[in-house]
Amino acid sequence: DQQVKQNSPSLSVQEGRISILNCDYTNSMFDYFLWYKKYPAEGPTFLISISSIKDKNEDGRFTVFLNKSAKHLSLHIVPSQPGDSAVYFCAASVGNEKLTFGTGTRLTIIP
Amino acid sequence: GAGVSQSPRYKVAKRGQDVALRCDPISGHVSLFWYQQALGQGPEFLTYFQNEAQLDKSGLPSDRFFAERPEGSVSTLKIQRTQQEDSAVYLCAGGSSYNEQFFGPGTRLTVL
């Protein structure tokens, strides 16, 4: 039972354009959502988060949008840079409980 | 050190062998988490410590898995009688809460 789903295993985007990574969840109790970035042979690195009381959070080139009614969140990266090439995981939690991760999306930025 | 460290980075074990994986969290982080990441999957929660207390071990897949953090800093994940399905990357993370956890590089375990 996959409670957090990332349906796109991979995504390729031209450098300078916008990258949009999507995530869907099924557990309506989730109230905190995070995005992590992972390079090969390294652990995931925290990128940005959003609480369920908000619908948008922005940090530099990264913006996360949350649509609670659709149980959907997305990560926008603009402009995309070659260093953004990595695997991106979305994760969710209920209050201060364990994180549930999606299966990841491999983003490739084409120079 | 500045970040979470884990050792060994790679471990190859024969089926039935016991293994011990170590995690050194960031100094001052009271919370410590272990995750298992199978190939092509996202990390899956195993267990959680607050200081030396193991508050949640609901993700441990079997009684062959055991974790400890006796002094509230370094933690060890032990797997007894390893099986091939235990092959995965084991990630340790620390933080001040369940949110915004800081991950180590992981230990890649291969059971032959």
Average pLDDT of every residue of chain A: 95
Q: Tokens standing for B94?
A: 């620390």
Which residue among A96, A98, A103 places its CB closest to the CB of B40?
A: A103
Q: Within a 10 A sphere around the Cβ of A103, how many other Cβ atoms?
A: 17
- Which of A3-17, A90-104, B78-92 is predicted with the least confidence, judged by mean pLDDT? A90-104
- Per-residue pLDDT of A14-28, as tens digits, reads 999 999 999 999 999
The two most distant CA atoms of chain B are separated, in Å, by 37
Interface of A with B in 19-78 (CB under 8 A): 32, 34, 36, 41-46, 49
- Per-residue pLDDT of B22-45, as tens digits, reads 999 988 888 899 999 999 899 999
Task: Say yes or no to pLDDT of B57 above 80.
Answer: yes
* Chain B: residue whose CA lies nearest to A47: B100
In 3D space, the residue among A6, A22, A1, A29 whose CA is nearest the CA of residue A93 turns out to be A29
3-state secondary structure of B92: strand
Edge-to-edge strand ranges of the sheet holding A72-77: A4-5, A19-25, A72-77, A62-67, A56-59
Distance (Å) from the alpha carbon of B101 to chain A's nearest alpha carbon: 7
Q: Within a 10 A sphere around the Cβ of A84, how many other Cβ atoms?
A: 18
Residues of B in contact with A43 (CB under 8 A): 4, 91, 93, 103-106
The most confident of A71-80, B47-56, B87-96, by mean pLDDT: A71-80
Q: Tokens standing for B4?
A: 């979470």
Q: Tokens standing for A35?
A: 């995005």
